[in-house]
Chains A and B, each alone.
Chain A
Amino acid sequence: MKHETEFEISFDGGPVPARQGQTIGAVLHAAGIRSWRTTRFGGRPRGLFCGIGVCFDCLVTVNGTPSLRACQTEALPGDEVTSG
């Protein structure tokens, strides 16, 4: 049975399970998604690095707002998260 504090968000169009209080970074990490951005010159993968809001490596677009830190942004029901 699904707990009532569990919900879904979408990541690049696909559903990802989330729990109340999780950050988007935690949601993606728990779903096995480790990187969602690449460096502008080397094309190297980037995701959570510091995990505490300092490094700005984990940027995502949430409901159209770009450049949000996944590790600092709480996941809310129905959030549409896109990478890049």
Chain B
Amino acid sequence: MPDVVVIGAGVVGAACAYYAARAGLEVTVVERGSVASGTTGAGEGNVLVSDKEPGPELDLALLSNVLWRELAELGGFEFEAKGGLVVAETGEVQRALTGLARAQAVEHEVVAPEDLPRYEPHLATGLAGGVFYPQDAQVQPMLAAARLLRHGAPELRTGETVTGFLRSGDRVTGVRTDRAEIPAAAVVNAAGTWAGEIAELAGAPLPILPRRGFVLVTEPLPEPLIRHKVYTAAYVTNVASDSAGLESSAVVEGTPSGTVLIGASRERVGFDRTLSIPVLRALARQAVELFPVLADTRLIRAYCGFRPYCPDHLPVIGPDPRAPGLYHACGHEGAGIGLAPATGHLVARLLTGAETGLDLRPFLPDRFAGETS
């Protein structure tokens, strides 16, 4: 009998499995699809501190940033510590960016407009400046998840769907799947955008909903044109927004294979995978505004995914008092890749009864008490 069953083989589930195994626990991972088949495989691989408002999520991101660098030592996946450049279109926006950077108190460099080409030679002219965050990084999340699972989960059960929980009174004592019953001392819900369904099965609902995003991929460029993760200040506003309508802002970056990834759109349209030409058009236009050189570059594909968001835009990390034995590690919205190691680390500490070293209260599932999901 495993000590822990982790539901979900995305990067968050993989990190939970990895850190739990490192703490000496025996872990089984159950995944209804395949490794990284949900939101992990549909993003850009952001490991960002730059886009976080000061507060609990930034604290989590800073911890995670350090942990990603350690995990990168495992090898087997791309991790690029290339830094992020946030740019401002106007002086007013630049003042806001500079103010945010000061409040965040993370490592940064304020970049004057005339210095922008030193960071990004192909950036559009006429921008009002920017802020460079050396800690921002990019990871190949699918390979990272696979690598963490290899280290952390001797038993990985893919293509197996959790259909219910084993209970002893209120207590969760394992999971029931479409193939077996798996008793375990604890269960971790790392089902990402579908974690609300899992929570529902435990009679402990969580208000996690999908926020759709598209990413465009260009043909591979012979020479890298874009050195850092580059995005406009509007991205920070959009990340924190509560709007249901389409929001998009350019997030542009190169990858080691030569392609350029272009995000990021946000829409609340349920689990609708229909390709949206207006969204793709908006993303392409914004990317070309930022990097005019991309106007001559062809797109070779687009993909979409669903960020798991909570009403307060914070993840859900911690034990569920409604179902003792059940722990949540989900609801990271667009920051799941970046926040995965810290989440896994904290869940492993909780599972072993160790001090977490970070105030978990803002992330606990209890905070939704009284809300309808």
Contacts and interface: CB of A to CB of B under 8 A. Distances in A.
Interface of A: 40-41, 54, 56, 59, 66-67
A56 B300 contact: yes
B301 A54 contact: yes
A54 B301 CA distance: 8
A73 to B, nearest CB: 13
7 contacts: A40-B258, A54-B301, A56-B219, A56-B300, A66-B222, A67-B219, A67-B222
A41 B78 CA distance: 13
Contacts of B56: none
A66 B296 CA distance: 12
Nearest to B222: A66
B79 to A, nearest CB: 15
B257 interface: yes
B220 interface: yes
A56 B222 CA distance: 13
A54 B299 CA distance: 11
A40 B219 contact: no
B301 A40 contact: no
Nearest to B256: A41
Interface of B: 219-220, 222, 256-258, 298, 300-301
A66 B219 CA distance: 12
Nearest to A55: B300
Contacts of A56: 219-220, 300
Report, nearest first, the 6 A-B pairs whose CB atoms are least far apart.
A56-B300, A56-B219, A67-B219, A40-B258, A40-B257, A56-B220
Contacts of B220: 40, 56
Contacts of B257: 40
Contacts of B256: 41
Contacts of B222: 66-67
A43 to B, nearest CB: 14
Nearest to B257: A40
Contacts of B258: 40
A44 B258 CA distance: 16
Q: Which of A41, A56, A66 has the most CB of B within 10 A?
A: A56
A2 to B, nearest CB: 36
B264 to A, nearest CB: 23
Contacts of B219: 56, 59, 67
A48 B222 CA distance: 19
A55 B131 CA distance: 36
A63 B350 CA distance: 63
A42 B341 CA distance: 29
Contacts of A54: 300-301
Nearest to A66: B222
